[in-house]
Amino acid sequence: MNDHSPGEGAPGYRARAGWTREQAAGLERTGETTAPVFYPPETDQMPHLHIWDTWFLRERDGTLAEVDGYRVCFSLTAPAELLPGKRHDVATIRAFYSADGREWQDAGPVFSEALGQRQWAGSALYDDGDVYLFYTAAGTDGAEELTYSQRIVAASGGRVDTTDGFELRGPWTHHELLSPDGERYEREDQSRAMIYTFRDPWFFEDPETGETWLLFEANSPVPEGSDLFDGDAGKQEFNGSVGIAHSPTGDPLAWELEAPLLDAVGVNQELERPHVVYRDGLYYLFISSHLHTFGPELSGYDALYGFVAEELHGEYVPLNGSGLVATNPPNAPFQAYSWMAFPHDGEVLVQNFFNYFDFAGETLDEIAHLPESEQRRRFGGTLGPTLRLDVSGTRTEIVGKLGHWEIPMAGESLGPTERELLARAHADD
């Protein structure tokens, strides 16, 4: 068990569960946690766009919605002409829809006006015909310079109309839901890190209690004098957490901040896009994180990490010992990012976006300094192949993959995995 209570008299607020430096020191690629190498899709479904963080329209109980036979997803997007590294500065949320979970159509930008200078990731709720879009308002409205402030926002008023094709329309009303309190959640002016985080809201109804929650990416304040402050090594600069807020009435627009579910002080600065998959009576909490956001003397990967507990507010333990669930192969370490897991047909599927490919051993920073044409050529900017994950207790294993953008429809059964086909071939030998 992790002892996360602050030392006596020491300021600082800790989550009930933590990702410890000891656990993270065990991070190592294994056959179970390393994705195969991806190649660019034969046809880019959205050649006019860079596409990255993506989420699905889901029902209150977390099921992927099918509205009049359409799957609906939302992505952060930018014009494909833009340099890939600049996309975060202009991110716009668009909707896409598909009648078969394979071919997707662009329904256009969701909002004509939204809060923030640009919009970062979120989640979407389909509640009895009403669409709520949770997102991050990044940047200060009206400021001339680009700023990095982050607020958690929801837009209400969306409806899907399929009388003549597919249309998602408002009028939308934007509601500011949450901002950091400075005590449990670090504010921008308290941050010592490269970029603080308070973003990526994700709606979750607990199937055991029926209670309604909003998870998000945040940081835990580590004031000077707290026992976690380590001036020399600078561990306090790596203070990622998974935040949570509660809606006592279930109203998707009324939330109260609660103490974080999990933190990673001294371990990692960014626990991105937290989300939960409930399975076999257990809560699987997943986050994405980067190689470059690990604390001193730790080395991790651009990867999906996960934890499991018996209750939503439980004592989370890292999956596979270290927390590593799905990472990129060593010769393509940045090929995918921003993984999102969801249950399907007894497995857990993981969608992600196809990031940079065709490596010659560069770091992300070095890629950003390559000639512009080369940066563009090597950027996927589309959805990657969906991974198939076998999950059992505290262990997970990547057992195969589907196509780029492939999100099976409800009730569709998955074919045999690559592993099963291989086993059959050997049995026939």
| Binding residues with ligand FRU: total (CB under 6 A) | 15
Active site residue 53: yes
Q: Is 272 a catalytic residue?
A: yes
Q: Under rule CB under 6 A, which residues in 41-60 are in contact with ligand FRU?
A: 52-53
**56 and 73 Cβ atoms separated by less than 8 Å:** yes
Tokens of 198: 């308070």
Among positions 305, 337, 354, 379, the unique one binding ligand FRU when judged by CB under 6 A = 337
One of 117, 136, 149, 219 touching ligand FRU (CB under 6 A): 136
Q: Does 120 bind ligand FRU (CB under 6 A)?
A: yes
Residue 338 binds ligand FRU, judged by CB under 6 A: yes
Under rule CB under 6 A, residue 137 binds ligand FRU? no
One-letter amino acid identity for 389? Answer: L
Q: Which residue type occupies 388?
A: R
Least Å distance, CB 95 to ligand FRU, is: 17
Residue 295 near residue 268 (C-beta atoms within 8 A): yes
Name which of 136 and 335 has its Cβ closer to ligand FRU: 136
Residue with tokens 């937290």: 274
Torsion over CA of 160, 163, 167 and 173, rounded to 10 degrees?
A: -40
Residues near 382 by beta carbon (within 8 Å), at least 6 away in sequence: 41, 44, 45, 46, 51, 353, 354, 404, 405
Nearest to ligand FRU of 19, 70 (CB atom):
19
- Shortest distance, position 288 Cβ to ligand FRU, whole Å: 6
Q: Which of 272, 302, 347, 397 is catalytic?
A: 272
Contact between 302 and ligand FRU (CB under 6 A)?
no
d(CA 6, CA 21): 16
From the number of C-beta atoms within 10 Å of its C-beta (0-12, 13-18, 19+), residue 274 rates as buried
Q: Give the H/E segment covering residue 419.
A: helix 418-428
Nearer to ligand FRU, 120 or 284 (CB): 120
For ligand FRU, give the closer residue by CB, 286 or 337.
337
Shortest Å, Cβ 423 to ligand FRU: 35
- Pick one of 205, 272, 347, 397: the residue that binds ligand FRU (CB under 6 A): 272
DSSP string of 92-134, one letter each residue: EEEEEEESSSSS-EEEEES-SS-SSSEEEEEEEEEETTEEEEE
Residue nearest to ligand FRU (CB): 120
Q: Which of residues 59-88 bind ligand FRU (CB under 6 A)?
A: 76, 88
Near ligand FRU in 194-213, by CB under 6 A? 199-200
- Name the residue nearer to ligand FRU (CB basis): 98 or 293: 293
342 touching ligand FRU, by CB under 6 A: no
Nearer to ligand FRU, 2 or 352 (CB): 352
Amino acid of residue 181: D
Q: Which of 151, 229, 232 is CA-nearest to residue 197?
A: 151
Q: Of 320 and 338, which has the nearer Cβ to ligand FRU?
A: 338
Complex with ligand FRU: residue 45 or 338, whichever CB lies closer: 338
Q: In whole angstroms, what is the distance from residue 223 CA to residue 208 CA?
A: 36
Asked if 247 is part of the footprint of ligand FRU (rule: CB under 6 A), the reply reads no
Per the CB < 8 A criterion, the answer to whether 111 and 150 are in contact is no
Determine the Cα–Cα distance for residues 8 and 137; give it in Å rounded to an integer: 37
Min separation Cβ 121 and ligand FRU, Å: 3
Under rule CB under 6 A, residue 326 binds ligand FRU: no
> Residue 76 Cβ, how far from ligand FRU at the closest point, in Å?
5
Q: How far is the CB of 401 from ligand FRU (least distance, A)?
A: 20
DSSP 8-state code for residue 269 = S
Q: What angle do CA 313, 63, 88 make, to 5 degrees?
A: 80
Rounded distance, CA 391 to CA 327, Å?
A: 16
What are the residues binding ligand FRU (CB under 6 A)?
52-53, 76, 88, 91, 120-121, 136, 199-200, 217, 272-273, 337-338
Q: Which residues are catalytic?
A: 53, 272
